[in-house]
Amino acid sequence: MTDISKSMRAIEISTPGGPEVLKITERPTPIIRENEVLLAIKAAGVNRPDVLQRMGMYPPPPGATDIPGLEAAGVVAAIGKNVSDINVGDKICALLPGGGYADFATVDAGSCLPVPTGFTFEQAAALPETVFTVWANMIDDGDLKAGETLLVHGGTSGIGAMAIAMAKAFGAKVIATAGSDEKCQAALNLGADATYNYRDAPWDKEIADNGGADVVLDMTGGDFVARNISCLNHGGRHVSIAFLRGAEAKINILPIMQKRLRLSGSTMKARALSEKARLARDIEKQVWPHLESGKMAVTIDKIFPLEQASEAHKHMESGAHVGKIILKTR
């Protein structure tokens, strides 16, 4: 049984700014509502949206805590009165609306999944944000199927590494881009079938000349959208999850019509709890078996203690990481 103290350690964003604004502080331990569980956190994932939140560019959804952290793994310390399928003492990982950089977090029971068999808490904490985002956008909305080809930019990012692992587990071919030859090699090591250094290769022409792509999972936006469109096959799907090269893109409508392309996009944070619960159940059925069998691996770059959250953010912003950065709480 986990001791639930009245207060807990948490990392707060003292003011919008650089990594140094992340400060360790004491906060009241959050109180569960009837559909929630209280998670005694062992490890939490660091994601790029946390960096944007720290800079004041991606506020938490209404009603959510201001403590950053969109995913965590740990042990259930208490359950709300309407929670029936999770018990105190269960090992779970969860997609959080925020609050992962702390000793405890409350989360809707529907956003929880069991820690996959054989996984450490650190490995499990690396899963929810990237698994939910990649599943929802690449498989659910993007409809990537076995035998098709995925193009993913940022192939060594947390999202990119998960996209490669999931697409390969589901029988697709993967083309990834990265910003250096070393990162291209790392993306190949993660399982990509082909890579391009986006800084110098005419990747769009080469992909189009070599069979094209059926789905693009795009975190780049800007000038890459037109290039993505140019190498999408007939019936292709373009799914936007971020715009690291700019929120505005100049595109020609004609190839969208000629190739019957579909363009969509989404943010995970803003989705309704019922939608996250639906995704969680699909993921548990479709993705968890691949993780537990070892067909899909999770890639952890570095683990920092909770109190070094600002170092973890510096590391993410250096761009040196391959895969996930984790904060260890206990």
- Chain positions contacting ligand NAP, by CB under 6 A: 47-49, 129, 133, 153-154, 156-160, 178-179, 183, 198, 219-220, 241-242, 244-245, 266-268, 316, 319
The nearest distance, CB 128 to ligand NAP, in angstroms, is 10
Q: Which is nearer to ligand NAP, 219 or 296 (CB)?
A: 219
Q: Which is nearer to ligand NAP, 40 or 98 (CB)?
A: 98
Q: Which is nearer to ligand NAP, 183 or 238 (CB)?
A: 183
The nearest distance, CB 265 to ligand NAP, in angstroms, is 7
Q: Which is nearer to ligand NAP, 220 or 310 (CB)?
A: 220
The nearest distance, CB 217 to ligand NAP, in angstroms, is 9
What's the longest Cα–Cα distance across the chain? 62
DSSP secondary structure letters along 9-76:
EEEEESSSSSGGGEEEEEEEPP---TTEEEEEEEEEEE-HHHHHHHTTSSPPPTTS-SS--SEEEEEE
Q: Which is nearer to ligand NAP, 114 or 179 (CB)?
A: 179
DSSP secondary structure letters along 144-172:
--TT-EEEESSTTSHHHHHHHHHHHHTT-
What does the alpha-carbon distance between residue 51 and residue 325 come to, in Å, rounded to a whole number? Answer: 12
What does the alpha-carbon distance between residue 28 and residue 2 come to, in Å, rounded to a whole number? Answer: 16
What does the alpha-carbon distance between residue 327 and residue 180 come to, in Å, rounded to a whole number? Answer: 26
The nearest distance, CB 190 to ligand NAP, in angstroms, is 12
Q: Which is nearer to ligand NAP, 219 or 261 (CB)?
A: 219
Q: Which is nearer to ligand NAP, 10 or 187 (CB)?
A: 187
Gyration radius of the chain over CA positions: 20
Q: Which phi and psi angles does 180 have, rounded to 5°?
A: -155, 160
Q: In angstroms, how far is CA 211 from the centroid of its own chain? A: 28
The nearest distance, CB 93 to ligand NAP, in angstroms, is 16
The nearest distance, CB 316 to ligand NAP, in angstroms, is 5
The nearest distance, CB 225 to ligand NAP, in angstroms, is 12
Q: Which is nearer to ligand NAP, 39 or 178 (CB)?
A: 178
Q: Which is nearer to ligand NAP, 208 or 244 (CB)?
A: 244
The nearest distance, CB 1 to ligand NAP, in angstroms, is 34
What does the alpha-carbon distance between residue 22 and residue 69 come to, in Å, rounded to a whole number? Answer: 12
Return all residues near 91 (Cβ < 8 A) that are at least 6 apart. 73, 74, 75, 76, 114, 115, 121, 124
How many alpha carbons lie under 13 Å from residue 15 in its C-beta half-sphere?
A: 0
**CA separation, residue 158 to residues 83, 100, 119 (Å):** 31, 17, 17
What does the alpha-carbon distance between residue 95 and residue 77 come to, in Å, rounded to a whole number? Answer: 17
**Using CB atoms within 10 A of its CB, is residue 265 exposed (0-12), middle (13-18) or buried (19+)?**
middle
The nearest distance, CB 257 to ligand NAP, in angstroms, is 26
